[in-house]
Structures are given as structure tokens and as C-alpha cells.
Amino acid sequence: MLYQGRGPAQGAEKSLRRSAGIAGNQTARAGQILRGLDLPADLVTTSAEWGAAKPDSAFFAHVIEVAPGEPREIVYVGDHRDNDLEPAKAAGLRTAYLRRGPWGYLWAEDPKVLKLTDWRIDSLNELPALVAATQG
């Protein structure tokens, strides 16, 4: 799902010498369409293209494989406790919980979500400053 605000956040991530990627549970056709939109991302891929869907650990192993840096340097943004946050954290990734869309609000105050997330954000535009602040 694409939301307003995605582009500027990704552009800012690149200015921090960060890579920005889009990976989700979608069909291969969805991946083709998204890549055709020329989004400001270094990678656009789908679970169908990887042959592994969230919350499968193989999906997150692919994220680690394609993202630059060590797992502890990768921030996975998601809105679903079971499909995004738990498996990303189990893979050693940092997590940002995006309170947007139905799942974002459904899980917003869940104690497990609060424990699993490094950041809780309402917009992707918030993420670059939060990541930069942790880099000192």
C-alpha cells in the first residue's frame, strides 16, 4: 500500500547515506507495477518474487541479504504486529511501527507492539530525523 509522504521520507533517508526499499506481501505483477512508478527507492520487490511471505523468517532473511549494513542497522517499517514487527525483531532488525491504515490503529496501543518497536511513527517523514538522532 502506498501512502502520501513516502517519497520525501525516502529522499531524506538517501541524504543520510541510507538505502530505502519497499518489500511486502504482494504478487509479482504488483512488483512490476510499483517499479514502473519510478518510486524513490533503491529496491522494490514482493514476497511472490522472493518466494517467501511475511511473517516467514525467509522473507526477513531476504531483506537482510539485499539491504546494506548489518541487521542491527536496518530499520523495518510496518503496521502489523504479527507480520511485521515480531519477525523483523526476531531477525535482529530495528523496527518502526507505522500508525497508519487499519492495522496501524488496531495495534497502536498493544503492549507487545510497544515492546517490539524502536520507534512509533504516524508518517514516514518522521523516520529520517529519528534515525539520524540515534547516530549521534
CATH at 81: 3.40.50.1000
Q: Is the pLDDT of residue 13 over 50?
A: no
Residue 1 lies in a domain: no
Question: What's the confidence (pLDDT) of residue 60?
Answer: 98
Whether the Cβ atoms of residue 46 and residue 23 lie closer than 8 Å to each other: yes
119-132: b (≥16 Cβ within 10 Å) or e: bbbeebbbbbeebe
Residue 51 lies in a domain: yes
User: What radius of gyration do the chain's Cα atoms show?
Assistant: 14
Residue 105 lies in a domain: yes
Q: Edge-to-edge strand order for the sheet containing 75-78?
A: 75-78, 94-98, 119-121
Number of domains comprising the chain: 1
- Its pTM stands at 0.85
Give CA–CA dist 13/92, Å, rounded: 20
Strand partners, 56: none
Confidence label for 132 from pLDDT (cuts 50, 70 and 90): confident
Question: What's the confidence (pLDDT) of residue 22?
Answer: 95
C-alpha cell at 13: 533517508
Q: Which domain holds residue 71?
A: 6-134
